[in-house]
Amino acid sequence: MITKKLLLAATISLNCLISHSQNDKKQKDIQSIKAMCGCYEVKFNFAETFQYSKDTANYKPSKTKHDYGLEWVELVEETPNKLMLQHLLIVSDDMIIKHWRQDWLFQNTDLYSYNKENNWKYIKLPKEQVKGQWTQKVFQVDDSPRYEGTASWVHIDGKDYWKNTTDAPLPRREYTKRDDYNILKRRNIHEITATGWLHEQDNDKIVRNENGKDVVLAQEKGIDTYTKVTDAKCIAAQNWWKENNDLWKNVRTKWQTVFAENKDLTLEKKVSNKPLYAHLFDLKPTATKAETDAIIDSFIADK
């Protein structure tokens, strides 16, 4: 006969096993995220695969893009439930470009979903929906929002990957050349490999009208391959970050204050005929927080 004491002991033991298993899974997730840090030779490849325009005679697809670069991915912040990775593009030892940033948050419920026209909608998700998941928050070079999505890291059959679909603005390689669509629905896969990591994309180029109706104009395939090399190759970026870290910490702190308001956000595309990144990139590393705060405030619509 199973007594209440035996049943209670079995329940406690099972709960401990489940908790231990969940913690092991989380540590594997963290290990995979941190594996994206370091020095990488990167190959960027994008190709438009299918077109659905009714005006086939005049439609101009994007050209296939092949590009190369050297990037340093800095682990800026690490807490039990958050990891912050800053990408730095190395053009030369004397020219470092602050590239995109990705933050990873465990069981996060607060997201900014891209709508269109430089507008992001604040979304509050239920806790049960994000249990065990990680939100990837991707930011522009000026640390303004880009796109966000939540999903579980998967570790199975020797593979380690995270997969999510979310809406985003046009990428830089497109918005300077295309104005016939306004949403890029991104299917992102981040996979850790034996030689580094892979960022694979299957994207829809979407026209979204005022009523929120979407029409797929075209689709594209993207494969960005990050091959790990010795950290010594990226020493210029490491030194640049030490010199400029305080400036960008001030920028991030200001944005965090904005995001913490948990309300929809619309940003101006230009102020004084210059985009936000140009204003911030013009600053010296010694610029004050008051200076960066004022610049960011000037871009927030209806401030």
SS3 annotation, 196-211: EEEEEEEEEEEEECCC
End-to-end CA distance of the chain: 69
Mean pLDDT of 259-287: 97
pLDDT at 30 over 60: yes
For the cut 80, the answer to whether the pLDDT of residue 137 exceeds it is yes
Residue 29 has pLDDT above 80, yes or no: yes
Structure tokens at 196: 């580094």
272 alpha-carbon distance from chain centroid: 28
Judge whether residue 8 has pLDDT over 50. yes
pLDDT for the residue numbered 13: 52
What's the pLDDT score for residue 297? 98
Predicted confidence band at 212 (pLDDT cuts at 50, 70, 90)?
confident
In this model, does residue 53 exceed pLDDT 90? yes
Q: What pLDDT was estimated at residue 6?
A: 56
Per-residue pLDDT for 16 more than 60?
no
pLDDT in tens, 94-127: 999 999 999 999 999 999 999 999 999 999 999 9
How far is CA 167 from each of CA 104, 142, 177, 187, 203, rounded to the nearest angstrom?
A: 18, 19, 19, 9, 10
- Cα 279 to Cα 298: distance, rounded to the nearest angstrom: 11
Range 267-290 average pLDDT:
97
pLDDT value, residue 12: 60
Q: Which has more confidence, 172 or 152?
A: 152
Q: What is the pLDDT of residue 10?
A: 47
Looking at residue 17, its pLDDT comes to 46
